[in-house]
């Protein structure tokens, strides 16, 4: 039996975690913006010591759900 994430989607060993700086760079926003998203519960993260790690899939899901349709 292998360990899986809370949703049971992928084994934990296959999850890729990003630092706040990596997420900020990927999204082209400041680190403070990423911290706001994490603290506000909009972007899930794991606390490791005094820092956060964000699952890469969570970033992809957030961005996919944030597209705005324009006229």
Which structural domains are found in the chain, ordered by start? Answer: 12-64 (1.10.1660)
The CA angle 25-38-35, to the nearest 5 degrees, is 55
In the predicted model, is pLDDT for residue 2 greater than 60? no
Render pLDDT for 18-51 as a digit per residue (tens, 0 to 9): 999 999 999 999 999 999 999 999 999 999 999 9
Residues 6+ apart with CB under 8 A from 12: 3, 4, 5
* 21 vs 68 pLDDT, higher one: 21
pLDDT at 51: 96
Find out whether 11 and 52 touch, Cβ atoms under 8 Å: no
pLDDT at 69: 76
- Calculate the average pLDDT of the chain: 88
* 11 — pLDDT class (breaks 50, 70, 90): confident
């Amino acid at each position: 039996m292998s360990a899986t994430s809370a949703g049971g989607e992928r084994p934990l060993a296959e999850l890729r975690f990003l630092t706040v700086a990596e997420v900020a760079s990927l999204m082209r926003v400041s680190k403070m913006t990423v911290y706001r998203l994490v603290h506000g519960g909009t972007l899930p993260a794991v606390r490791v010591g005094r820092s956060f790690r964000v699952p890469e899939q969570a970033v992809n899901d957030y961005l996919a759900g944030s597209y705005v349709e324009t006229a």
